[in-house]
A and B are shown apart, each in its own frame.
Chain A
Amino acid sequence: MIKILQVNNLKKYFSIEKIFSEKEKIVKAVDGVSFSIKKGQIAAIVGESGSGKTTLARCIAGIEIPDEGEIFFEGKLLDFSTKEKRRKIQYIFQDTYGSLNPRIKTGDILAEPIRYHFNLSGEKLKEKVKEFLKKVGLNENFIKNYPHELSGGQRQRIVIARALTMEPKLLIADEPVSNLDVSVQAQILQLFLELNLKDKITILIITHDLRIVYNLADYVIVMKDGKIIESGKTDTIFLNPKSDYTKNLLCSIPNSPYKNQK
């Protein structure tokens, strides 16, 4: 299979200034990370808070500009200075409410990118909006709602639909279900599976929930303190974890079957 994404030695540091101290503290959010994702895969980056998994994803999506390293997308080296041109990589924010303009109705939220991307207007534009709503399992009545009138699951669907309007090849989702109730979580995860299967979209999911990873992802990357601890096929990582950190993570899952093996 062809690699859709290749990341080489990526680094992103942040400095934190303190008012009362001279010293600048440097946080190495991503510290020399290399990996690749094959086309059509669902990959997962797993890690605890502060592991740098979100920063890494934001670098790939072009929201942050990395300090060092290179990213190849579909074989082409990405230019970090043109960060707004990365349409084929779409990123779904963890905070779905914050990532929707509160003063625009959902219909317009979807219509805007379609208007500029497909050059459509009038009836054809409306048709296209409905098409995308249908794709994420919402009916057309939702076009009249404002974001705050939607439930968490519906908002997540709208955010996904908006990302899909760009016809992305790679969809990055940052903790897409962590704010949702379990009964709604499964609906959204099933949607990701379908997008991967039917629309052939490569998906990179960032999560701390290993149960989700096991059933969703083909490939797993375990991160800690800005570095990759371990990566490999999901079955290999779950059945035969090499690093102690991964083992510890697996044992920490509530009601974990790994605990007995310890």
Chain B
Amino acid sequence: MKKMIWTGLIVLIFFIILAIFAPFISSYDYKTQDISLRLQPPSLKHIFGTDELGRDVFTRMLYGARVSLSVGLLAVIIATFIGVLYGAVSGYLGGVLDNIMMRIVDIILTIPVLFLILMLIVYLGPSIINIIIIIGLTSWTDIARIVRAEVLKIKNSAFIESAKLIGLPKRVIIFKYIILNTLGPILVYIVFGISGAILIESGLSFLGLGVQPPYPSWGNILMSGKDYIHTAWWLILFPGVAIFLTVFSLNLLGEGLRDLFNPKLKKE
């Protein structure tokens, strides 16, 4: 369990450092084209080779990491904010309101998310901000349901009853008693949510509906590479591996955190 968390964390921190210090790590610029150098295989000068416009793939990967990671993180923050609020209100207040709110969630869940995203992007235009907002707005339902279930469970627990008996104010009960005890599952969702959002962004970029050139993202590097798959393997391999490693380590981290927050496993 601890191994999973540490492995996931180390890989992620490595990618985050690369993304933050991109300008210091690479001396190239991500958008300077040089047709004379197009489709160079990996060499000491261009360790991941160059793309069809002669740009350094390694540099584009570094800047792409910035886009992919921040899209994942920001989209999930939006989703978590809406989801936690929605789920907590629904679970805490209960009754008819809870019923109505949860039926709305059920209706939203009947809409195929990917088609909804595609439609919205076509309608609003594919900018990074739009992608973040759209992914955020379409993926809050899961966390709303998780938070509602947790709140329901905690609301009926003996320690909430005890807190009421000793006359603690409502805000203390809500923040210190309810929200504090749902933090575990929320954190786990955030981790899994980021990996999901990164995959959606890569998918959109691959379809040409995500981050638009000249801005790089792992998805659109992959897309530009698909036409040269027989001659320039490096355009496919490196972004593919980067997406795989990021998503895999996020899932490891999430899996590990879920075990860590499971009080039953903890007590043993």
A binds B: yes
A148-B266, A148-B267 as given contacts; A100 in contact with B168, CB under 8 Å: no
Contact-residue size bin, chain B (C-beta under 8 Å from the other chain): 20 to 34
A102-B181, A103-B181, A148-B267 as given contacts; A84 in contact with B164, CB under 8 Å: yes
Contact between A100 and B172, CB atoms less than 8 A apart? no
Cα distance, A159 to B165, chains bound together (Å): 12
Contacts of B266 in A (CB 8 A): 148
Cα distance, A83 to B165, chains bound together (Å): 9
Is A197's beta carbon under 8 Å from chain B?
Answer: no
Cα distance, A208 to B268, chains bound together (Å): 30
Q: Name the residue of chain A whose CB is nearest to the CB of B180.
A: A103
Is A241's beta carbon under 8 Å from chain B?
Answer: no
Contact between B166 and A165, CB atoms less than 8 A apart? yes
Contact between B165 and A98, CB atoms less than 8 A apart? no
Contacts of A159 in B (CB 8 A): 162
Q: Mark interface residues in A59-85 (1 if CB within 8 Å of B CB, else 0).
A: 001110000000000000000000111
**B-facing residues in A100-123 (Cβ within 8 Å):** 100-104, 112-113, 116-117
Contact between A99 and B166, CB atoms less than 8 A apart? no
Contact between B159 and A100, CB atoms less than 8 A apart? yes
Contacts of B157 in A (CB 8 A): 98
Contacts of B44 in A (CB 8 A): none
Contacts of B267 in A (CB 8 A): 148
Is A206's beta carbon under 8 Å from chain B?
Answer: no
Contact between B167 and A101, CB atoms less than 8 A apart? no
Q: How far is the CB of A222 from chain B (nearest CB, A)?
A: 26
A interface residue numbers (CB < 8 A to B): 61-63, 83-87, 90-91, 93, 95, 98-104, 112-113, 116-117, 148, 159, 162-163, 165-166
User: Considering the complex of A and B, which 7 residue pairs feature the smallest CB-CB distances, nearest first?
Assistant: A99-B158, A113-B166, A98-B158, A93-B158, A99-B162, A101-B159, A103-B180
13 contacts between A and B (CB under 8 A): A62-B165, A63-B161, A63-B165, A84-B167, A91-B162, A91-B165, A93-B162, A98-B158, A99-B158, A102-B263, A112-B172, A116-B167, A148-B263
